[in-house]
């Protein structure tokens, strides 16, 4: 009545290719010519899910992201998404030039 069910592995391959989301390229040997050629590796459904979670982790609180990702526990959400952003934030803060405790004085005006 509804036709043949779609195999999940096929769905993943078609989904990334249909969305034109390339995650890598590999070198494969052409069986006819023996020459190496480039082959695209398309995003899987899990790649797209991970990207979604990572992007939304910067915009919403962990409990909201837990619901969006359909995780059973917020600990799972924090393990995979919140910790990554904490590392990025720490790196950003280390790169910010340190400022003195007191505000810098204004440059003196030159007389004309």
- 102 pLDDT above the threshold of 90: no
Residue among 66, 103, 99 nearest 81 (CA): 66
* Residue at token pair 């993943």: 12
Give the per-residue pLDDT at 53.
93
Give 58-91 pLDDT, tens digit per residue: 889 999 999 999 999 999 999 888 777 677 778 8
11 three-class SS: helix
What are the sequence ranges of the domains in the chain? Answer: 9-43, 44-94
Give 2-55 pLDDT, tens digit per residue: 566 656 555 555 677 888 888 888 888 888 888 888 888 888 888 889 989 999
pTM of the predicted model, to two decimals?
0.54
Residue among 61, 58, 63, 13 nearest 39 (CA): 13
Give the per-residue pLDDT at 64.
95
């Amino acid at each position: 009545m509804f036709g043949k069910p779609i195999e999940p592995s096929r769905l993943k391959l078609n989904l990334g290719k249909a969305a034109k989301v390339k995650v890598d390229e590999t070198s494969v040997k052409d069986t006819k010519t023996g020459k190496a050629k480039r082959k695209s590796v398309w995003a899987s459904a899990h790649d797209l899910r991970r990207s979604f979670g990572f992007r939304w982790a910067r915009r919403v609180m962990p409990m909201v992201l837990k619901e969006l990702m359909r995780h059973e526990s917020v600990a799972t959400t924090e393990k995979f998404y919140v910790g990554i952003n904490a590392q990025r934030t720490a790196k950003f803060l280390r790169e910010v030039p340190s400022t003195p405790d007191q505000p810098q004085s204004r440059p003196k005006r030159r007389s004309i």
